[in-house]
């Protein structure tokens, strides 16, 4: 039995069958209602995410945009079940996150939610292929070399499998990070400023990879970004100001 069939019997077939066009009718993966996250500091309370209502459907490619400090990363972390919510409600894959225990959140994340960060976070002494293979080892569902190669192929980097991160361009490193995120999940990809450290040429390679994963593989993707061009490539932009969604 493969790792895919073990955890998600029908996931891949479902994901592939839903393109962006039909996203409106597709299953709701994330539903936030009045979602609020406040940080209690000694001198003040910072409301980073303020009463956000949001629905994300399978197969969507959505950008979160807004000024620095508007709550994009915080919202992405909440959607990714990395942080607890203060009030309101949030369900992810049909699961009420506000009542789920830490173990349940870890399981939910591990199987289905992949993260990509601005600064790649690749291990410098491991090859591209090994970086892709590593997270599933931690998740106790190791993937084989051929599965990891398949993920590198999906991001167009099969020929760079044996390169160390320092032997890759910035865009290639970010695409390895995307492949690595897909190794532990292929339902929902959350990317925080995926082109934040890249020049325009390297950014193009990341745009292409994300667009292809969404359009061809039906992957649901949410990016937090300042990059207007990336925003324009997504199917929908959610604009945040001071933690609140600006009506479009
Ligand atoms: N752990 C924390 N403790 C206290 N305040 C925090 C914490 N994390 C974020 N904040 C505050 O919450 C607000 C939203 O931060 P967040 O990182 O979500 O913004 P952002 O839109 O991602 O900004 P940027 O574009 O600069 O990445 C900011 O005012 C920030 O200072
Ligand atoms: Mg941020």
Closest protein CA for atom 28 of ligand 1: 69
Summary mean pLDDT of the chain: 86
Domain segments of the chain: what residues? 27-245
Q: What per-residue confidence (pLDDT) applies to 120?
A: 72
Q: Which two tokens stand for residue 75?
A: 């919202």
Closest protein CA for atom 30 of ligand 1: 69
Q: 119 CA to middle of ligand 2, Å?
A: 12
Distance CA 25, CA 72 (A): 26
Q: Are strands 95-96 and 87-92 parallel, antiparallel or unpaired?
A: antiparallel
CA-240 nearest atom, ligand 1: 21
108, 187, 197 from 102: Cα distances, Å: 10, 20, 32
What pTM, to 2 d.p., does this model score? 0.86
37 C-beta neighbours (distance < 10 Å), count:
23
Name the residue of 48, 64, 239, 243 whose CB sits within 8 Å of the most ligand 1 atoms, as the mutation to test its pocket: 48
Could you tell me where the DSSP H helices lie in the chain?
A: 3-7, 11-17, 72-79, 102-112, 128-138, 145-154, 170-184, 200-215, 228-233
The neighbouring-strand residues paired with 238 are 64
Q: What per-residue confidence (pLDDT) applies to 137?
A: 62
Nearest-5° Cα angle at 37, 72 to 238: 30
Nearest ligand for residue 72 CA: 1
CA-41 nearest atom, ligand 1: 4
Tracing tokens 């667009």 back to the chain, one arrives at: 211
Q: What per-residue confidence (pLDDT) applies to 34?
A: 98
Q: What per-residue confidence (pLDDT) applies to 8?
A: 38
Q: What per-residue confidence (pLDDT) applies to 125?
A: 94
CA-39 nearest atom, ligand 1: 4
Q: Which CATH number fits domain 27-245: 3.40.50.300, 2.40.160.40, 3.30.465.10, 2.30.110.10?
A: 3.40.50.300
Nearest ligand for residue 86 CA: 1
Q: Are strands 188-192 and 220-224 parallel, antiparallel or unpaired?
A: parallel
Q: Is 36 close to ligand 1, i.e. is its CB under 6 Å away? A: no
Question: Of the candidates 30, 33, 34, 36, which has an alpha carbon nearest to the alpha carbon of residue 94?
Answer: 30
Q: Is 39 close to ligand 1, i.e. is its CB under 6 Å away? A: yes
Q: What per-residue confidence (pLDDT) applies to 172?
A: 92
Q: Which two tokens stand for residue 6?
A: 């073990």
Q: What per-residue confidence (pLDDT) applies to 198?
A: 86
Q: Is 70 close to ligand 1, i.e. is its CB under 6 Å away? A: yes
Ranges of the chain whose pLDDT falls below 70: 1-25, 136-141, 186
CA-64 nearest atom, ligand 1: 21
């Amino acid at each position: 039995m493969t790792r895919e069939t073990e955890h998600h019997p029908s996931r891949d077939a479902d994901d592939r069958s839903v393109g962006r066009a039909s996203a409106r009718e597709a299953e709701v993966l994330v539903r936030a209602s009045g979602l609020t996250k406040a940080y209690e500091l000694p001198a003040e309370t910072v409301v980073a995410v303020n009463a956000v209502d949001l629905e994300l459907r399978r197969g969507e490619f959505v950008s979160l945009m807004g000024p620095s400090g508007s709550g994009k990363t915080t919202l992405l972390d909440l959607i990714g079940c990395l942080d607890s919510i203060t009030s309101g409600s949030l369900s992810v894959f049909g699961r009420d996150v506000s009542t789920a225990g830490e173990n349940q959140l870890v399981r939910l994340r591990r199987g289905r939610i992949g993260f990509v960060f601005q600064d790649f976070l690749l291990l410098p002494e491991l090859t591209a292929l090994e970086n892709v293979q590593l997270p599933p080892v931690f998740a106790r569902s190791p993937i084989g070399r051929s599965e990891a190669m398949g993920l590198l192929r999906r991001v167009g980097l099969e020929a760079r499998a044996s390169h160390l991160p320092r032997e890759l361009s910035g865009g290639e490193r970010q695409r390895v990070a995307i492949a690595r995120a897909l190794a532990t999940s292929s339902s929902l990809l959350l990317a925080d400023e995926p082109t934040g450290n890249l020049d325009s040429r390297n950014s193009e390679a990341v745009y292409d990879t994300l667009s292809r994963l969404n359009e061809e593989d039906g992957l649901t993707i949410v990016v937090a970004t300042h990059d207007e061009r990336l925003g324009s490539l997504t199917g929908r932009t959610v604009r945040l100001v001071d933690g609140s969604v600006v009506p479009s």
